[in-house]
Amino acid sequence: MADQFDLMRHRRYRRREIHERWGGQQQGGIATPVSIPAVFVFSGPTGKRFGYDQDEGWQPDGTFQYTGEGQRGPMVFERGNRAIRDHGENGKDLNLFVESPPRRDRAVTYEGPMVCIGFKWSQAPDIDGTPRATIVFRLAPLEAVATGSDAADVAAEIASIDLDALYKLALEQASEGGGSDVQLRKTYRRAAAIKRLARQRANGVCEGCWTAAPFVLASGEPYLEVHHLTRLADDGPDHPDHVVAVCPNCHRRAHLAGDAMSFNAKLRTVRA
């Protein structure tokens, strides 16, 4: 895999430290480093001076509201805005940082990996005070999406879908419309569909060592874990061609072994 992403959640870092290690644009609120498959999102009070959404931040339902980039004119889905919306489709982790006082040292607190579950259009003045359309993203913690996608009712719904429909569901992107509860439900279904699709394609055989699954679950399904080939973190939405189903041993190897980089390269040939 790429350089290990080892930032600790809720710990403060200087923004310069982050860019010196992984790269990415040092100005603005969205950075897209080339050294790791990730998108960095930085939130703070500075954006509110440029007409960004006054309600940006954590919401009562546990999601995070974030206004896209663009200081003048209507916001569009280009550069950073497109990177946030399509991060799952592109197999990139979305990492949230919130500006921490004092602002003079540009310190940020790492809030952890997130998932873009949807967006809405809003109206707000740009830096010149001119009214314009703005994109307001809704982000959810990755761990919440992973847990929700394993819920019994979601799993039961996904189990009844045929392979072609499952693949279409796995390709769904974050979209406009609906409250956060609706957007979360769609994200749960997509994450669950990707897991099920990977396991069905593997048909009970580990795609790393090509041996049978180590045991069978009470449901009768062979036990295999789903590994994301391009992202640093597992779980959550992704492109269905970016995941494989592997035994627990191969899964740990893909993340922790000395030959993890070459092993992941080998796993990618499975989906090539």
Residue 141: predicted pLDDT: 96
Residue 2: predicted pLDDT: 44
Query: Can you give the chain as a three-state secondary structure string?
Result: CCCCCCCCCCCEEEHHHHHHHHCCCCCCCEECCCCCCEEEEEECHHHHHHCCCCCCEECCCCCEEEECCCCCCCCCCCHHHHHHHCCCCCCCEEEEEEECCCHHHCEEEEEEEEEEEEEEEEEEECCCCCEEEEEEEEEEEHHHHHHHHCCHHHHHHHHCCCHHHHHHHHCCCCEECCCHHHHHHHHHHHHHHHHHHHHHHHCCECCCCCCECCCECCCCCECCEEEECCCCCCCCCCCHHHEEEECHHHHHHHHHCCCHHHHHHHHHCCCC
Domain 12-141 grouped into CATH 2.30.280.10: yes
pTM for the full model? 0.88
Residue 55: predicted pLDDT: 76
Residue 233: predicted pLDDT: 85
Residue 1: predicted pLDDT: 44
pLDDT of the chain, 272 residues: tens digit per residue:
445 678 999 999 999 999 999 999 988 899 999 989 999 999 987 555 455 556 789 999 999 999 999 989 999 999 999 999 999 989 999 999 999 776 666 799 999 999 999 999 999 888 888 999 999 999 999 999 999 999 989 988 898 888 889 999 888 888 887 888 999 999 999 999 999 999 999 999 999 999 999 999 998 999 999 999 988 888 888 899 999 999 999 999 999 999 999 999 999 998 77
